[in-house]
Structure 1
């Protein structure tokens, strides 16, 4: 186990864009998810991706709230996706989403999706066939769906990052919650091997596992990060870094560190509890400039 600290970050720097870069070469992120219940979730993920350095942002959410999201995030292109009767993404959303994948470098799929989203129907067409260098971050309901799609995910040759909290990890691995609590490091490594993916097991301390690589541990950014929308921000940071060209493990590690350190900065300035998830992205550029 290796601590995720300043020494590790210095040894694994992020790729920097050249001075003559444009928004497309800086990285194109597509964030898909949300629902009528949490229509603003993608705002958090999308802003985090841009703050992490992505050059171009696209958001895809349920059709009835898509125009409102476009007003909230004027930097993004907006796509509407079919919804079901519960106001979540519908069965046909995955097939529709596949039509947009050639326009992005990284897809972040799942933020803001709930238990009534048909995760397997959405995720299956997206991961059915690897697409060149496309990388993916799977979050929320898509993590539960991934449990049934291990073979397809494995075929993406390590370009997928999974971001479960302990409850989602139990569903992903089909095990009891107690096992996660007793051996988080071991279960993270087992999941990474099963899915051939980078796994970020979130909690008071966070474990980052990747097949063939050493396990990383981040001690945590404090209890203030245990707030609604915080995980949506983390998914966006990781997606933004991957779109810039960072390898999945490095993007996951830097994302966890940036997210945690942003929490520490806000705790010091505002208080240990009570800062908002939407305040986290604004801390990222400064942390990137002076890690």
Structure 2
């Protein structure tokens, strides 16, 4: 596939595709629910949650393993944190699916996956939860949650959810059942294949970031750099797109804008800190500045 078939994302492109107005109180900017984390990886949820607020979401709720919920509640004073029973591996127990659904019901955007360590647990939790979330505004799947998509091809389409997937190249390859080298050699075709076959939006990072909607329209984003290839960076991007979706952006718009905000935040840190060595936790604070620069 030739890159000329894709729209290259720039500030001008985004200004011509403005986000929904951000006026009003917190209720007007949507409620985000983030489901994930484990006793060893609560930081993934923390990064995603803060990013959702940095991109303008109004309200934040987190569903995570009971053992880390108190610490997350202190680290995220802006959020309601729900601690649920956890299994032997430290992830949220799939038997707590009813509580997950109850919390997520009616949310503007729900993110599932950051910090879930056990792929089998992720698949089972998704199997029990996702078919019951068809009435949420936008459903975002990240990290281990992609395992359910790969194991249950077509099931996501049948939920009726407006869905957005944020795989890294390895997760994209596993979801499609192909070699990672094939994805890195031609990311555009593989992103488009997953998006059109599942009827969703897919945003996948790499040296360039590619986004496709369910109709096969492509966007390529060259913002960011090597510094974004760091632990936790993908959690930040997933949180950004979820926050934008909560504000009322469509899945495609949330993905395209969120990927660009993530990349431009990395560019700012590369200039002020260094091309390598900045931390994922530092990206979020740059996002409001990038939003102002684009929207000015």
Q: TM-score range by the shorter chain?
A: over 0.9
1:139 aligns with 2:142: yes
- Per-residue deviation, 1:156: 4.7
Instruction: Tell me, yes or no, if the aligned pair for 1:204 and 1:220 is still in contact at 8 Å.
Output: no
Partner of 2:196: 193
Whether 1:64 aligns to 2:67 is yes
Higher mean C-alpha deviation, range 36-45 or range 148-157:
148-157
What residue is the counterpart of 2:8 in the other structure? 3
Report the CA distance between 1:178 and its aligned residue: 2.2
CA RMSD, Structure 1 to Structure 2 (Å): 1.5
Structure 2 unpaired stretches of 5+: 1-5
**Cα offset for 1:246?**
0.3
Partner of 2:3: none
SS at match of 2:151: coil
Taking the aligned partners of 2:231 and 2:108, their CA distance within structure 1 comes to 27
In the TM superposition, what is the alpha-carbon distance from 1:126 to its structure 2 partner? 2.2
- Name the CA shift for 1:129/1:64 in 2 (closer, same or farther; >3 Å): closer
Normalized per residue, which structure has more helix? 2
Where 2:62 maps in the other structure, the secondary structure is: strand
Matched, 1:14 2:19: yes
Residues 169 and 201 in structure 1, CA contact (< 8 A), matched pair in contact too: yes
- What SS does structure 1 have at the residue aligned with 2:27? coil
DSSP 3-state at the match of 1:147: helix
1:118-159, CA deviations, whole angstroms, 9 ceiling, x for partnerless residues? 112111122214533521110011011211233231135561
Tell me, in whole angstroms, the C-alpha distance in 2 between the residues paired with 1:103 and 1:193.
26
TM-score (norm 2): 0.93
Q: Distance in 2 between matches of 1:14 and 1:5?
A: 14
Residue of 75, 85, 90 corresponding to 2:78: 75
Contact 1:2 1:217 in 2 (8 A): yes
The alpha-carbon deviation at position 90 of structure 1 amounts to 2.1
- The answer to whether the aligner puts 1:161 opposite 2:164 as a matched pair is yes
Structure 2: distance between partners of 1:183 and 1:81: 40
* 2:110–2:136 contact (8 Å) kept in structure 1: no
Matches within 5 A, 1:249-264: 249-264=252-267
- Kindly provide the CA deviation profile for residues 74-131 of structure 1, in whole angstroms up to 9, marking residues without a partner as x: 1000101221111122222433211112252110111111235511211112221453
